Amino acid sequence: MLKLLKQNKTFRTYVAYQFFSSIGAAMFAMFILLAIHLMYRNPVYTGIAGFLMAAPRIISFAVGPIVDRRSKVKIMRGTTFIEFAVLSTLAFTPMQEQFGVIFVFIIVFIFNIATLFENPAATAFLPQIMHENDILQANALINMVSIAGGLIIGVVLFSSLGGDVNFAFLYGISAVLLGFTFIFSLFLRAPKASETPDADAKKVQKEKPNYIQDLKQGMKFIKGSFLKFFFIASMAVDFVTEMAYVNRPMFLEYHAGAQGYVLFVLITLLGSFVASYIAGKLGNKFKVGKVVFALIILAGFTRVFFALIVPVQIIAGLITVAVYAALIVAADIIMSSLNQKVPPKDMVGRVSTISSTFGAVAVALGAFLGGIAGSAVSDISHIFIYQGISLVVVAVVMILIPSIGKLPKMNEISKSEESEDVGGAV
């Protein structure tokens, strides 16, 4: 994987961009729910925050055609600056003390509106600078580098926080990291058409924009390929995972304390690092459908064990959460790489944002119902058990679908050459 860095200067800059972007955004996403839980002790508030984190993605489908038609680099620059600005406002001004949870909700919403444009732009930019057969390894390398940095920062935070969590300090670090993200975005340059492996993919940018038609083409492509089954499976996974996610601060803070919650986050990152290695090394060696099936079903069993063991033994719970993260993140990397590898280059933005829309609907609904469930159930661990059982069911249904079960290895799946070719995904 390291040879990709040596051979491609633009990719090196892109990795640095993703390094700071992913850590800054992830820190905010991880700690904002804990902050709301500790400040207000209201599961409904954490559910609302989770909903606001996902809700903007519901309109992702409308963003895709814009991303495909416009400069990805300019979109990345503008959005990362907005993210930096809003987190700086949260960290370095007294507005939260003056306006309370409503101000926090507004910050969460604006931040995620910005990521609504940034993420698909960054996703669509990668195939422009990498060969299609290198995309999976490139994604795995980006995840490994970002997670390694996150672990280093997390260890420093864990050792310095003590019993109390200074959230303004955490938001400030996130803002600084996103400031570096913006700086690196200034050094990114889109390749010229002649430098792109598939130069014809840019022909769409020369045509008169017709966003509705662009969106229809994206939907038509997905409908005619095996990706639709992965979209449906991802929706189910996202729904049950978010129900558990919004209740994770309450569950872990009760059993392990606030500092224990941070420790669990660090171990989750460690598991995600292992997942990146697994996806990068083994993703091209086994049939895609069977690999994803194995990863998700094992993640389901692991999640049930996590819910049962954390109240009894914290160390065992830490091991379990690392294994779970390694399994579920590896599955996500592989499925996300399909969204970049299979569609034509001029359609990656649309496919990515349509996928995000489906996922966002599931996540928003899961966050909302998760907040209600957290207030209704007598034991929060029941929600995690439900998540684990649901993952097992999703995995079994997936492998029974011929289009998924018969998929070849990742490097044997070909890219569709034309936007109109909606049936030639394999």
CA distance 348 to 139: 15
How far apart are the C-alpha atoms of 196 and 287, rounded to whole Å? 29
Q: Count CB atoms within 10 A of the CB of residue 187.
A: 14
Helix, strand, coil percent values for the chain (each to nearest 5): 85, 0, 15
Residue 421 has pLDDT above 60, yes or no: no
Q: Would you mind telling me the total number of residues written for the chain in this entry? A: 426
- pLDDT the model gives residue 418: 39
Domains in the chain and their CATH numbers? 9-409 (1.20.1250.20)
What angle do helix axes 314-341 and 227-245 make, rounded to 10 degrees?
Answer: 150
| Residue pLDDT, tens place only, 236-257 | 999 999 898 888 878 887 888 7
**Whole-number pLDDT of residue 187:** 92
What is residue 1's predicted lDDT score, i.e. its pLDDT?
Answer: 59
The CA dihedral of 292, 298, 301, 303, to the nearest 10 degrees, is -80
Counting residues of the chain whose pLDDT is more than 70, the rounded percentage is 85
Structural contact between residues 304 and 389, judged by C-beta atoms closer than 8 angstroms? yes
Mean pLDDT over the full length of the chain: 80
Confidence of residue 422 (pLDDT cuts 50, 70, 90): very low
* Beta-carbon count within 10 A of 410 CB: 23
**Across 254-273, average pLDDT:** 78
What does the pLDDT look like over 352-401, one tens digit per residue?
Answer: 778 777 887 888 788 888 888 888 888 888 999 999 999 999 999 999 99
**Closest by CA position to 383, among listed 209, 257, 242, 206:** 242
pLDDT at residue number 231: 86
Is 0.75 topped by the overall pTM? no
User: What pLDDT shows up at residue 416?
Assistant: 54
Q: Please say if the pLDDT value at position 131 is more than 50.
A: yes
Confidence tier at 211 by pLDDT (50, 70, 90): low
Q: How much is the pLDDT for 320?
A: 93
pLDDT at 153: 66
pLDDT score at 258? 67
CA–chain centroid gap for 163, Å, is 29
Q: Which residues pair with 409 in a beta bridge?
A: 287
Alpha-carbon distance 184 to 10, whole Å?
11
Q: What is the pLDDT of residues 6-24, one digit of tens each?
A: 778 888 899 999 888 888 8
Could you give the residue ranges of the DSSP H alpha helices within 248-347?
A: 248-282, 288-309, 314-341
Residue-level pLDDT at 352 = 76
